[in-house]
Amino acid sequence: MRPFGKIIDCKLNDHIVNKSECQLNNTLLEYGVVCLRGKQFTPKLFSQLAHKLGTPKVQLIREHRNESFPEISVISNQHRDTLGDGQKIVLGSFWHTDDSYLDNPSAITLLCANIIPGNGLGDTIFADMSSAWKSLDPVVKDKISKIDAVHKYLSRRNASKVPKLSEQENSETSDVIHPIVRTHPETGHKAIYLNPNRIDHLIGMDYEQGDKLLDYLIDFSTQDKFLYRHRWKSGDILIWDNRCTMHRVENNFGNLPREMTRILIEGNKPVR
């Protein structure tokens, strides 16, 4: 299996942040998940860093946008479902990959730790879906290689509470279809492409059959040998490749505040 997850000390490798777009992207392609540690990022610098990796997307949910930088959204466990039941929302507690409910999901996510609840609380855990694909039984590979899934913002299998969308936001999130095995557009490597929180069903299979296959693939892909756990420090910038990873936050921090800012980089429609 490839090395998965890398922490870079910016004090020793500041050129990665300031100069070399190619080096940062190549490091991300090699490790899947990269943390930049030891440099303070203002919203402006955060946006400039994101532009080194591609074109930042304007965030879908208007309420969470940074007023000055609409490509930056605030992710906080203090948010409430203001258009729904008013309850607090902890986003990302279950396995997922960002933006799969859109026709062109985000290629890369950048997440900056503004407020962390404490050491060992609120870790983010990643699954290497490329290594999981390589380790699958050939019979299973053949079975899933031509299967498509319907993704939607609020799916039948949704486990995480998600904010209710406005009418405008809802109009921007029609159901989409993606293969459950995708080819990375830069490396050419295949990866299992799942979003347990957004996949509604598999095309050509009844719900019972499809759910059984999805549950098997999720369990297989999230074995310890495929995982990287990131223990946050304040100010960390975590960057990951949505085209070959899944992730979740460990929701073990109760009401302790946890606040991140996020930028999503535009991607292409997944292809086999």
Does the reported pTM lie above 0.85? yes
What CATH number is given for 6-265 in this structure?
Answer: 3.60.130.10
pLDDT given for residue 1 in this prediction: 84
For every residue of the chain, DSSP letters joined together read -----EEEETTT-HHHHHT-HHHHHHHHHHHSEEEEES----HHHHHHHHHTTS-BPPPS-GGGB-SS-TT-EEEETT-B-TTTT--B--TT-S-B-TTTTSSS--SEEEEEEEE--STTSS-EEEEEHHHHHHHS-HHHHHHHTT-EEEE-SS-TT--S--PPPPHHHHHT---EEEESEEE-TTT--EEE---TTTEEEETTS-HHHHHHHHHHHHHHHTSGGGEEEE---TT-EEEEETTSEEEEE----TTS--EEEEEEE-------
Stated as kind and residue range, the H or E segment containing 208 is: helix 207-221
How do the domains of the chain map onto residue ranges?
6-265
pLDDT given for residue 40 in this prediction: 87
pLDDT given for residue 220 in this prediction: 98
pLDDT given for residue 20 in this prediction: 56
Per-residue pLDDT of the chain (272 residues; tens, 9 = 90+): 889 999 999 876 665 566 556 789 999 999 999 999 998 899 999 999 999 999 999 988 888 888 889 999 999 888 788 888 888 777 788 999 999 999 999 999 999 999 999 888 999 999 999 999 999 999 999 999 999 999 999 999 988 778 888 999 889 889 999 999 999 999 999 999 999 999 999 999 999 999 999 999 999 999 999 999 999 999 999 999 999 999 999 999 998 999 999 999 999 999 99
pLDDT given for residue 233 in this prediction: 96
pLDDT given for residue 147 in this prediction: 98
1: buried, middle or exposed (CB in 10 Å: 19+, 13-18, 0-12)? exposed
pLDDT given for residue 214 in this prediction: 98
- CB-CB contact of 143 with 192 (8 Å): no
pLDDT given for residue 150 in this prediction: 98
pLDDT given for residue 56 in this prediction: 97
